[in-house]
Amino acid sequence: MIAIVGLDGATWDLAEPFMDAGDMPALRRLVTAGAAGILRSTTPPVTFPAWSSFMTGANPGKHGIFDFSRRLPGTYEIAFVGSRDRRLPTMWRLLSAAGRRVAVLGVPTTYPPEPVNGIMVGGFDSPVTTGIDGSFVHPRAFYDEMRAAVGPYTITDFQELRIGPGWHDAALPKILTAVDRKRDLARYVLAREPWDVFMVLFGEADTTSHHFWMFADPRSPRFDASRAARHRGALRDVYRRLDGALDAIVAALPADATLLVASDHGFGGAGTTVLHLNRWLAEAGFLRFHAGARALPARLARQVRRLALLGLPRGVQERVVRRSGRRLARRLEGWSRFAAVDMARTVAFSEELNYAPSIWLNVRGRDPLGAVAPGRAYDELVATLRERLLAWRHPATGARIVRAVHRREEIYRGPCVGDAPDLVLELACEDGYSYVCLPSTGEESAVVRSLAPDEYVAGKGGGMNGSHRAAGLWALAGPAISADVHAEAAITDVAPTVLHLAGLPVPSWMDGALLPGVRGTLTVDAAPPPPPRVGGQEDDGAGETELWRRLAALGYLGAERP
């Protein structure tokens, strides 16, 4: 048997000192017994593409998921990504096709669930907080069984948009309870029947790191000594609780099981310097904002969405979204990102995603108001943007702001590369802390500014105090794993390793290799990938609009934009 415990956002920067302090004995035993190291995430290190690469063994250019959302071809509208958008089969599907029994609990981008040979419970992108039906569970009958066995299963039962007084005091007990709830479900599923491959995902390290980093890190420019006394132990408490869950899961496994612990990306602190990328593009002559009354639709769309998400009860949100349909959701998201931009006079623009800074070129023939001719003009503009971005410096310190600028073809390979932004940026860190990208309205007083102290504690979309890093973690032990191996690996190495350990050939289209320390040689299957799954459940638009509501309510779609 192969068991996988996913720890979303976990980093050795925290886990190692906690292990040394005796707070994570279960992870320490795993590292000592087998192989471990850094697990490199996707570029940028974003949840949806990272876990999709984990499950497919391929880079986003092949599986087609680059973000929580995607631009609709030929428009400036935004659609919302789910499992049906993945263009390659997951390892769960390959294992199921080979007759293996699988159980998959809580992995992002598994909504709607695949009809696997076993059980699948969707991740945080599922509309699970409402508890309205079993649409996030395969088979549906397991939904009622799960509720009867371990109680209501919610992934996040508190909002992360508006962080006011008392929020952290209320959130931390709920985070710890969520770990226990998933631990109990994992133990129930493990005892239910023998599995060939089992996985459960815990997202609590990610949530806590986003919101509590500034209290645990005295070097953070946002460090608040008065509040640190109350909250400095939150990260330790969550990692300790996760280790206890890991210990309980290990106790439920067969003695000869192989166990993998892995994260999709790492974590670090966010600084106090704000960047307005579209404002920079405007000042550099690449973008024009609408002025006066023509700028009103953008501000109005953002405000309407924000008020709806913060003010309307969830049941009302559901009814509005379902009645309006996905067309309104797509347009509203597109307006909120792009309506301030005068596309007819713009050659380059950004979605200004804090977790994934990037730039689109406004290409003639591809975009409705495209102004850049494909070919030579496109290449020249790319070269100019790269040169200007790499020369961008902090106006006060002179520090570099952009560390690297990648053409999409330089970091992605495969038939879906054209769905990625034209340029992907890697921002530098300022004294080890990330810059904060916030949306532009065209009315900012500066391209680069400092956060005010009352902005240090912010929700999703507003510049949280912890941010993703590329270096995740992995640890693997079992009968076919060599001990005392410490090496770096890629997130695409997981799926081929799982298939190999399950005795299956590895598809030639996978980019990954065996994780270090795994004995044996890959057997490669040269057959082409099967066509992407279409349907499995009726797709009348309800799934996408439900995803919009869910992701926006969680803050992943920028609901805190001004």
Q: What is the DSSP letter of 533?
A: P
Averaged pLDDT score across all residues of the chain: 89
Better pLDDT: 80 or 42: 42
Given a cut of 70, whether residue 514 has pLDDT beyond it is yes
Given a cut of 50, whether residue 298 has pLDDT beyond it is yes
Q: What is the 3-state secondary structure (H, E, C) of 391-446?
A: CCECCCCCCECEEEEEEHHHHCCCCCHHHCCCEEEEECEECCEEEEECCCCCCCCC
**pLDDT the model gives residue 306:** 54
> How does pLDDT run across 382-441, given as a tens digit for each residue?
999 999 999 999 999 999 999 999 999 999 999 999 999 999 999 999 999 999 999 998
CB 485 within 8 A of CB 516: yes
Q: What angle do CA 255, 259, 263 make, to 5 degrees?
A: 160
Q: Dig out the tokens for 276 from the structure.
A: 């307005």
**pLDDT the model gives residue 121:** 94
CB 520 within 8 A of CB 480: yes
What are the residues whose beta carbons fall under 8 Å from the beta carbon of 292, sequence distance 6 or more? none
Pairing of strands 423-427, 2-7: unpaired
Q: Dig out the tokens for 223 from the structure.
A: 């460090």
> How does pLDDT run across 52-71, given as a tens digit for each residue?
999 999 999 999 999 988 99
Question: What is the Cα–Cα distance from 65 to 51, expressed in whole angstroms?
Answer: 10
**pLDDT the model gives residue 128:** 44
**pLDDT the model gives residue 529:** 79
Q: Dig out the tokens for 12 from the structure.
A: 């050795």
> How does pLDDT run across 449-495, given as a tens digit for each residue?
999 999 999 988 889 999 999 999 999 999 999 999 999 999 999 99
Q: For the chain, what are the domain ranges?
A: 2-267+468-554, 271-458
In this structure, the dihedral spanned by the alpha carbons of residues 426, 440, 68 and 461, taken in order and rounded to 10 degrees, is 100
The residue type at 559 = A
% of the chain residues with pLDDT over 90: 75
**pLDDT the model gives residue 224:** 87
Arithmetic mean of pLDDT, 64-84:
91
Which of 94, 105, 91, 92 minimizes the C-alpha distance to 199? 105
Given a cut of 90, whether residue 538 has pLDDT beyond it is no
**pLDDT the model gives residue 215:** 95
Question: What is the Cα–Cα distance from 260 to 30, expressed in whole angstroms?
Answer: 9
**pLDDT the model gives residue 259:** 98
SS3 239: helix
% of the chain residues with pLDDT over 70: 85
Arithmetic mean of pLDDT, 352-366:
96
Given a cut of 50, whether residue 130 has pLDDT beyond it is no
Given a cut of 70, whether residue 183 has pLDDT beyond it is yes
**pLDDT the model gives residue 561:** 35
> How does pLDDT run across 191-239, given as a tens digit for each residue?
999 999 999 999 999 999 999 999 999 999 999 888 898 999 999 999 9
Arithmetic mean of pLDDT, 98-119:
95
Per-residue CA distances from 409 to 61, 307, 365 (Å)? 9, 39, 19
**pLDDT the model gives residue 441:** 87
**Beta strands in 140-189, from DSSP E residues, in sequence order:** none
Question: What is the Cα–Cα distance from 180 to 203, expressed in whole angstroms?
Answer: 12
Per-residue CA distances from 334 to 69, 93, 234, 338, 497 (Å)? 11, 33, 37, 6, 39
Q: How remote is the C-alpha of 115 from its chain's centroid?
A: 23
**pLDDT the model gives residue 485:** 96
Arithmetic mean of pLDDT, 306-318:
52
CA-based radius of gyration for the chain: 23
**pLDDT the model gives residue 488:** 98
**pLDDT the model gives residue 559:** 40
Given a cut of 50, whether residue 535 has pLDDT beyond it is no
Given a cut of 50, whether residue 176 has pLDDT beyond it is yes
Burial 459-477 (b: 16+ CB within 10 A, else e): bbbbbbbbbbbbbbbbbbb
What is the architecture of the domain spanning 2-267+468-554? Answer: 3-Layer(aba) Sandwich (3.40)
CB 133 within 8 A of CB 32: no
**36, burial (CB in 10 Å: exposed 0-12, middle 13-18, buried 19+):** buried
Which of 139, 132, 190, 131 minimizes the C-alpha distance to 156? 131
CB 92 within 8 A of CB 55: yes
Q: What angle do CA 58, 73, 423 make, to 5 degrees?
A: 60
What are the residues whose beta carbons fall under 8 Å from the beta carbon of 383, sequence distance 6 or more? none
Arithmetic mean of pLDDT, 145-156:
83
Q: How many CB atoms lie within 10 A of CB 223?
A: 18
Given a cut of 50, whether residue 13 has pLDDT beyond it is yes
**pLDDT the model gives residue 555:** 54
Given a cut of 70, whether residue 539 has pLDDT beyond it is no
**pLDDT the model gives residue 502:** 98
**pLDDT the model gives residue 132:** 47
> How does pLDDT run across 228-284, given as a tens digit for each residue?
989 999 999 999 999 999 999 999 999 999 999 999 999 999 999 999 999 999 999
Arithmetic mean of pLDDT, 309-321:
51
Which of 201, 202, 193, 54 minimizes the C-alpha distance to 117? 193
Arithmetic mean of pLDDT, 328-345:
83
Per-residue CA distances from 151 to 110, 154, 209 (Å)? 21, 9, 27
CB 553 within 8 A of CB 125: no
